[in-house]
Chains A and B, each alone.
Chain A
């Protein structure tokens, strides 16, 4: 920010990253990880199980395949810089995961230290995935359908409501007390009402998910819109902007960072509501699957579903962040490069 000539000649920090690094050395962590995974596979085959687990050979095969894939990657990554850049930071985790899977097997299948049926070895989860994948897949589809429908409805309505609250005085006058009253109420509190007020448990759940996601989106959108600097409006007004322009081209883009915080919070609470609704009323979905598996003591199935649920939620959050990073690329410099 000093003299003008400096400013103009200085290159823009537009991501012309310095790629002139020294050629990468051998990826030792990768090779250790290969050994660790090979060890996990060997342990699975060579150490006899304490009880009969039908899927021990399958697990050994899976671990062997992982070992081969990792070995191939570790040996070729030096010639593939993009792969290298993604893979190398994962080194410690790849080692740790192999050790974790081994330890898990040792205390369950190999030594039987943990009480059954509450604890299951990894081969038991693998068994669930290989034998019950159809049911799990249908459950995922059901959960996703409820979640995405409810979230889409809730987020859109919340967004519109938030803009109304932030922009229009009458809407704020009537809407503010309502939101103040209903906002803090956990969406699950509506469960009993929702299940008799709606014709089906699915539509009740969609309503609950919409409510859970809509309220944070409404509140954050509202605070985003009302927090837009007056100077932004002054500029647009002196340049001849209509109120429509002020809403769509000034207020909404300026509020987007807040909106995304609301979308993130709403997504989190919609997961909670979805699982509760599926456990209590809906006869499908991952929440129902877990409840059902637990009901007849199939803890392996429960853990398997829990893992799938975790991956689904994490995936959706990651997707939301991807969308945010794309839409709010302009924020990078303000937050941090």
Chain B
């Protein structure tokens, strides 16, 4: 853990993102389905930006574009000023499902990125460090089917962190966890991000999660997703969930999402 964090402090500051005029659609049977409509925003190095919006509005598609898994139909994505042309291990994604490989044990799953880049032989200790970082060092030999949902998601976090990502792309990574596990892991994520200095992009539809974690919250409309608000969460960490400033912001966001009457 120490090694990971120190290295991160020195060399690996988060990367910056410039997203301009992104529109995207899928070709379905009934014709094109537009999911993103002229989305533009920038992310400073080391920022933690939450993308908040109704379920199915197209936020996850935006993340796939940022990860380089798909090219955008229109618009431009830049990382540190250079266009994103494909996936790169500096931009690691953590999905809603842990998607661990069932045929690999925990250690081998975490080692995946290093192995894929041919760095495993020289960087074996990093795998152990990453496992220690997420509190699963005793489970290296366990297989995914033996893990609970929370543990599996921790393994997937370790699998991301072992690559020293400069951008961590989080696609509702805590969405399927029970509420207690989710709260615990939100705290762990914030700690990690603060220690490591990577840039984080989080898709969520949990307003409290966004406010607890992010330095900035982008609120999206229904599909096709447009940015309807760009809110700065001007508050130091560690944050307290019941803080009145966060409550105000939450109300504001709920109004934007059309749920103001309940709050």
SS of A interface (majority): helix
Q: In whole angstroms, how far apart are the Cα atoms of A236 and B97 in the complex?
A: 14
Q: In whole angstroms, how far apart are the Cα atoms of A2 and B101 in the complex?
A: 23
Q: Size band of the B side of the interface? A: 35 or more
CB atoms of B97 and A234 under 8 A apart? no
B-side contacts of A234, CB under 8 Å: 67, 69, 93, 95, 99
CB atoms of B69 and A254 under 8 A apart? no
A22 close to chain B: CB less than 8 A: no
CB atoms of B99 and A333 under 8 A apart? no
CB atoms of A2 and B116 under 8 A apart? no
Q: 1/0 per position for A167-198, CB-CB distance to B under 8 A?
A: 00000000000000000000000000000000
CB atoms of A250 and B143 under 8 A apart? no
Identify B117's interface contact among A3, A240, A250, A253, CB under 8 A: A240
Q: In whole angstroms, how far apart are the Cα atoms of A328 and B145 in the complex?
A: 13
- When C-beta atoms are compared, the residue in chain A nearest to B70 turns out to be A234
B-side contacts of A237, CB under 8 Å: 69, 86-87
Residue of B93, B103, B150 most packed against chain A (CB within 10 A): B103
B146 close to chain A: CB less than 8 A: yes
CB atoms of B89 and A240 under 8 A apart? yes
B21 close to chain A: CB less than 8 A: no
CB atoms of B102 and A331 under 8 A apart? yes
B-side contacts of A321, CB under 8 Å: none
Select the stretch in B31-39, B176-184, B212-220, B248-256 that faces chain A. B176-184
Q: List 29 A-B contacts (CB under 8 A).
A: A3-B180, A7-B151, A8-B135, A8-B151, A12-B142, A231-B95, A231-B97, A232-B99, A234-B95, A235-B159, A236-B112, A237-B69, A237-B86, A238-B67, A238-B92, A238-B169, A239-B92, A239-B113, A239-B117, A240-B87, A240-B88, A240-B89, A241-B116, A242-B116, A245-B116, A250-B101, A332-B145, A334-B102, A334-B145
Interface positions of A (Cβ within 8 A of B): 1-4, 7-8, 12-14, 229, 231-232, 234-242, 245, 249-250, 253-254, 256, 328, 330-334
